[in-house]
Structure 1
């Protein structure tokens, strides 16, 4: 007798043998028991989850006559009567299977429907099963609509598809739809254990776990891979041989990669990738296994009670979960998931794998060991009390240029929050580069007072002169920023640093600014702004601190734009013609349709 593959030998013969589709079995079983039978069924789901199998079991349930030939419609077909045996063998004349992938035209469908006018020859019902029904043409679908909606009482339709989105809604509305779910790895593992026990094939649990994961929810794929693994292992299923057959990465390499990423050890990452290349392990499989491990780590971090004690890898998963904070785990998972699609674009998949893993190191969240994010600049605490107030001084400009229009003059003082004597801009030489005048005052905006980083005296002791100097210094800074931006002297991140910074104070030739975004505090960005200021005639050093910003040139620009927008909307609302249209024709102002120019 010829060998029968496991996927066919262990195909379920009744609903009790169905695995992982309890929701479908329960619905069909109750319908058969109460004989509340629909005339058309649609089974959807990925490959190998049992769509055709359910169709055949349903046909047997409808036509089973029992061992004594006296039975009726049942949810438990006997499997021994002539109808059951013929349906299992594929020779029951009243059960017709049509493969729509290769018989998709209207002619094939019409030939099938021509048989609908004849009553069953052997059984109780005729059953037309159309597999991959979404492959039918539009004309073929239209040809079957009328019969599908009102078939003879002895005719049942069973449709199956892996892509229900392509089935017309006119067909969907005529069918009872059941979605067969992909099977969980644990469900596949249990079934493989029973099958191999019946086959008397020795198997390691770790090997079966690899096969269950590789099946990706398809029981047919799991049994086919098991057949291949039995042949590859010469009648035995061992973890090493199954891993070699599947090209799966040794879990030790996965743990090593995740641990190296957690500790920022780039050398171990590169060496491990070289080991994968040498052993011929798939780069795609490496990322898949890492993604699975990171997902399990995230579960342990979020809900420790859901950890599976029977999983032999759970101890390693818990250890690695303790090495990474949850946000870093989520970041690594996302980058591994998206990096898998990039491997096909790389000239060498192992080079692509290396780049994905190194990217994980480069984008590590701040505060994680080995993070590539540079430390924030040291914050300087200002001794505000030691700053001697100096009256704002303007450097005379050449006669051809109005002195007030040059950005050589800048006076500054700490924010107006206390009785602190304001520091001031020191006199500076005239600018050496031409820039547009910034004599026009910036658009004033209301801003909350900024608390400096150093302790300050009681606000009641503040003098009017100190307040005026502080306001003047801030206004001159924002005017200088606007002038630099307008002149194109600063671009990219340097421009953003200038726009997003808030003036704090000046002490000697050091200017103190506050920014909210840590990404703008890079030394290179600060040096770029400092160089632009020096080229504009301000020989100063910039000192940055991170903190909340309540006033900046960017905020002023936004406020000015909002003010212009409100003015434009008010002007439109007060226009006599607009008011007449609203009054006479029942019109309304569409929000967002008015823009200031």
Structure 2
């Protein structure tokens, strides 16, 4: 006994058995019930979504005779009469299927149309079904146009194609077009569960989910993959076996990659990529799975209520969504999408996968800033090390003894006074020159200790070239000047230049023209070019029954625009004639609106710049106001 594959065994026989195409089923059902039948139908959609199936059900609905042989046109064919059974078996004489992929010439189409002159032999209607109709030649399309437009009343055309863009518009205009959509993975998973329950095949929900996603919207592909998975799993569907058969990437690898990228852990990224290589998993499938996970993460970040934490996978995605910023999620999603096209360009797809993943770390938001800070810290550390390794002829730092007198570290200013532990140099002393007192000279009078500088006080910097200009005592072998190390002070953030206010030279008629144009705009009496003419124009003079306008661009001075503006003014109560000249405009509604907007912008910028909190953030953290980010709030 030959085995009948699931895709053929479970092909829908009636409209009620159709899955995922409710919009097409509803339209055809209503047309059949109301007897409003068109003579030509065009079904479009990807492979395996039901185009041929709908065609056969439609043919049975048109020719069904009912169980008792007394039936008529119906939306629910009986499936037991001669017409229904023979159409299902593919041997009904009045139902003809033509494969246009292999019969695409004008001769084949003409031989088919020659049968149109004969009435049906068994059924109520002749039905010509042409599959992949876009494969027909131009001459073949032209040969069928006349018959397709005015066929006999007993003839119905059903066309099917996966590429409607290649069908001539002359054919499209003669047909009712129905687009069969790709089926959602959830819809296919539910249908597969019902089929396997009927077949008594045990299956995991996760295995069915993998098969549904791998089918990419095609129910026929989903059933064919299910057949393959049953054979691979020895009569049962388990997630591990299905994942191995499909070469899919385990979501645990994807979660580990996303978490490592969120934490900037390049080592884990490289190790996980090597694990994929060792397990023989597809690099393209890895990027595809990452794209799916990142898409769900972005949805959770935008709409937290959409998080589904009922299963482990949903909980993991919610955790990663909280771990990675939204901008990095969008960046990584874009990198994964574009990286799939680069896998075939590289000599090793796993090396290409590693480069795609490491690209996020290179272009991660804030990475450049961290790199710059690291370089600055390295340079600062090098400067400090250089300062500690000064030549031996550099003078030691002076210290202050217990009596407050300055002394060079390592020697005592007075032989009878023991040296005290060195104290830090005061910030208000500018690099004094240490010298030993002359023998017999009176020791200098002790000075009271001065208070230390408050936190944040900047030490004065002494340039090396200024050392020779300072007054100093007699040279000594152990003394010298202390050269201050420059202290880096971050510059104040540059303040954004306030927006300039456009110049407006008010004229006597400016206020009147501004109010008039504003009324026309609010009433939507003028649009497009006429509205632009009114806004850009200046009312130069107005007399009894005549107004003179001035514009700067000749393109605005068009007769049609002037006439429409005159009609709008007449409807507003100003029955005048308009004249338009080209010249310099100093006062127009557009200039006034721009000046008002600039003043509002300046006021908004002043509020932000003068805000104490903003100023504190600029001083303490070096915050900057992004140019162009300040917008005034429009009052409605």
Contact 1:297 1:317 in 2 (8 A): yes
2:59 matches 1:112 = no
Deviation at residue 364 of structure 1 after TM alignment:
1.2
Task: Give a deviation string over 1:218-255, Cα, whole Å, max 9, x none.
Answer: 00000000000000111110000000000000110000
Return the alpha-carbon distance in structure 2 between the equivalents of residues 508 and 123 of structure 1. 109
Contact 1:132 1:160 in 2 (8 A): yes
2:363 matches 1:349 = no
Contact 2:44 2:163 in 1 (8 A): yes
2:307 matches 1:307 = yes
| Structure 1 segment 500-511 matched on structure 2, within 5 A | none
Return the alpha-carbon distance in structure 2 between the equivalents of residues 239 and 168 of structure 1. 46
Contact 2:309 2:318 in 1 (8 A): no
| Structure with bigger gyration radius | 2
Structure 1 residues 312 and 162, CA gap change in structure 2 (3 angstroms): farther
Return the alpha-carbon distance in structure 1 between the equivalents of residues 306 and 8 of structure 2. 36
| Structure 1 segment 287-436 matched on structure 2, within 5 A | 287-308=287-308, 311-366=311-366, 374-375=372-373
Contact 1:52 1:160 in 2 (8 A): yes
Deviation at residue 312 of structure 1 after TM alignment:
4.3
What is the aligned partner in structure 2 of residue 550 from structure 1? 497
What is the aligned partner in structure 1 of residue 91 from structure 2? 91
| Structure 1 segment 64-463 matched on structure 2, within 5 A | 64-308=64-308, 311-366=311-366, 374-375=372-373
What is the aligned partner in structure 1 of residue 42 from structure 2? 42
Return the alpha-carbon distance in structure 2 between the equivalents of residues 580 and 36 of structure 1. 57
Structure 1 residues 119 and 549, CA gap change in structure 2 (3 angstroms): same
- Which is worse superposed, 308-317 or 89-98? 308-317
Task: Give a deviation string over 1:190-224, Cα, whole Å, max 9, x none.
Answer: 00000000010011111111000100100000000
Task: Give a deviation string over 1:105-133, Cα, whole Å, max 9, x none.
Answer: 11111111111000001100000011111
Contact 1:377 1:544 in 2 (8 A): no
Return the alpha-carbon distance in structure 2 between the equivalents of residues 37 and 49 of structure 1. 23
SS at match of 1:36: coil
What is the TM-score when the length of structure 1 is the normalising length?
Answer: 0.64
Deviation at residue 307 of structure 1 after TM alignment:
3.0
SS at match of 1:56: helix
Task: Give a deviation string over 1:336-356, Cα, whole Å, max 9, x none.
Answer: 001110101011000000000
Structure 1 residues 196 and 580, CA gap change in structure 2 (3 angstroms): closer
Deviation at residue 361 of structure 1 after TM alignment:
1.1
What is the aligned partner in structure 2 of residue 420 from structure 1? none
Contact 1:93 1:122 in 2 (8 A): yes
Task: Give a deviation string over 1:393-420, Cα, whole Å, max 9, x none.
Answer: xxxxxxxxxxxxxxxxxxxxxxxxxxxx
Return the alpha-carbon distance in structure 2 between the equivalents of residues 77 and 224 of structure 1. 27
| Structure 1 segment 577-588 matched on structure 2, within 5 A | none
Q: Aligned pairs, how many? A: 404
Contact 1:134 1:164 in 2 (8 A): yes
Structure 1 residues 580 and 265, CA gap change in structure 2 (3 angstroms): closer
| Structure 1 segment 430-579 matched on structure 2, within 5 A | 546-550=493-497
Return the alpha-carbon distance in structure 2 between the equivalents of residues 217 and 122 of structure 1. 37
Return the alpha-carbon distance in structure 1 between the equivalents of residues 111 and 370 of structure 2. 68
Return the alpha-carbon distance in structure 2 between the equivalents of residues 371 and 93 of structure 1. 76
Structure 1 residues 364 and 84, CA gap change in structure 2 (3 angstroms): same
Deviation at residue 545 of structure 1 after TM alignment:
5.3
Deviation at residue 550 of structure 1 after TM alignment:
3.1
What is the aligned partner in structure 1 of residue 624 from structure 2? none
Task: Give a deviation string over 1:72-93, Cα, whole Å, max 9, x none.
Answer: 0000001111100000000001
SS at match of 2:70: coil
Return the alpha-carbon distance in structure 1 between the equivalents of residues 133 and 304 of structure 2. 44
Return the alpha-carbon distance in structure 2 between the equivalents of residues 283 and 268 of structure 1. 16
Deviation at residue 304 of structure 1 after TM alignment:
2.1
Contact 2:96 2:127 in 1 (8 A): yes
Return the alpha-carbon distance in structure 2 between the equivalents of residues 304 and 48 of structure 1. 35
SS at match of 1:130: strand
Task: Give a deviation string over 1:268-310, Cα, whole Å, max 9, x none.
Answer: 0000000000000000000000000000011111112233455
Return the alpha-carbon distance in structure 2 between the equivalents of residues 185 and 286 of structure 1. 19
Deviation at residue 508 of structure 1 after TM alignment:
11
Structure 1 residues 91 and 374, CA gap change in structure 2 (3 angstroms): farther
Structure 1 residues 376 and 195, CA gap change in structure 2 (3 angstroms): same
